[in-house]
């Protein structure tokens, strides 16, 4: 017997179709198996597919890359909230998502802007290998840190923009993500994020990396409200705030498609 599941695709952290980061969103009435969710995510072949179920007055939420379940994802959380608000008639202006590894995440709506409330993840000093620098194109960073992902800080936005990674080499060196960042020319800071081991060479816009970036740049720049740009080919824009051990990230979203999965 064929089961039909609704599916949506959303461009997150942008107000322009074909910008930001695409995420698939699959509403469920009850959980299907992890293997089925993984196969759907692989078939969708976007950086993350979000699955959620209602539970009382909140929702449970999980995210899958094309190759594995991930612990935290910002743009797919924003995309899920966007679908609940715009397509599924969620009546309130605040949504609580319960997650396996990141605790409770909140998304609020004000006009067309969505704000994510995520945990801050401060970074610690880290060593970088010559092999990693070579895989990124040979440009040496001015500083290196690590939290979930390795974070390389460069001198200028141009340095970050001009990086031309060897993704095959990068996938062999580091099984986590590689985050690169610098002070921005027209915003507070810029970033790019590479995670070829997860089937994503370059992620267009990454909410979870801003859990590292916001505490770092807030301290570096001496302010708690920050304007961030992820300078991938698709580009994305975030308005950020550091509040104690939480980070707030605000952005827009645009629905690209809706349809059905025949499972």
Cα 122 to Cα 145: distance, rounded to the nearest angstrom: 9
Q: Report the DSSP pairing between strands 124-125 and 113-119.
A: unpaired
Q: How far is CA 40 from CA 100, 117, 149, 182, 205, in A?
A: 20, 27, 26, 35, 21
Are the C-beta atoms of 152 and 134 separated by less than 8 Å? no
SS3 63: strand
The secondary structure element, H or E, covering residue 33 is none
Pairwise CA distance, residues 14 & 230, whole Å:
11
Asked if 50 contacts 63 with a C-beta cutoff of 8 angstroms, the reply is yes
DSSP, residue by residue, 19-32: -SEEEEEEE-SS--
- Helix, strand, or coil (residue 180): strand
Radius of gyration from C-alpha coordinates of the chain:
18
Q: What amino acid positions are annotated as catalytic residues?
A: 48
- Residue 133, Ramachandran bin (φ over 0: left; ψ between -120 and 50: alpha; else beta): alpha
């Amino acid at each position: 017997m064929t089961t039909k599941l609704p599916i949506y695709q959303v461009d997150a952290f942008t107000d322009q179709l074909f910008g930001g980061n695409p995420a698939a969103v699959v509403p469920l009435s009850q959980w299907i198996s992890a293997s089925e969710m993984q196969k759907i995510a692989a078939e969708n072949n976007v950086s993350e597919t979000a699955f959620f179920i209602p539970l009382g007055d909140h929702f449970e939420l999980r995210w899958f890359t094309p190759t594995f379940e991930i612990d935290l994802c910002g743009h797919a959380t924003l995309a899920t909230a966007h679908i609940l608000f715009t397509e599924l008639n969620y009546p309130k202006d605040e949504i609580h998502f319960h997650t396996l590894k990141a605790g409770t995440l909140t998304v609020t709506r004000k006009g067309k802007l969505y704000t994510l409330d995520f945990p801050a993840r401060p970074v610690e000093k880290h060593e970088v290998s010559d092999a990693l620098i070579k895989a990124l194109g040979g440009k040496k960073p001015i500083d290196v840190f690590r939290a979930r992902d390795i974070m390389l800080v460069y001198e200028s936005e141009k340095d970050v923009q001009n990086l031309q990674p060897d993704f095959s080499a990068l996938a062999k060196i580091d099984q986590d993500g590689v985050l690169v960042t610098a002070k921005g020319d027209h915003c507070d800071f810029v970033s790019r994020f590479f995670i070829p081991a997860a089937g994503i060479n370059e992620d267009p816009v990454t909410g979870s990396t801003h859990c590292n970036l916001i505490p770092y740049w807030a301290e570096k720049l001496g302010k708690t409200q920050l304007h961030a740009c992820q300078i991938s080919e698709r580009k994305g824009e975030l308005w950020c705030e550091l509040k104690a051990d939480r980070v707030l990230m605000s952005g827009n979203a645009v629905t690209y498609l809706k349809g059905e999965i025949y499972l």
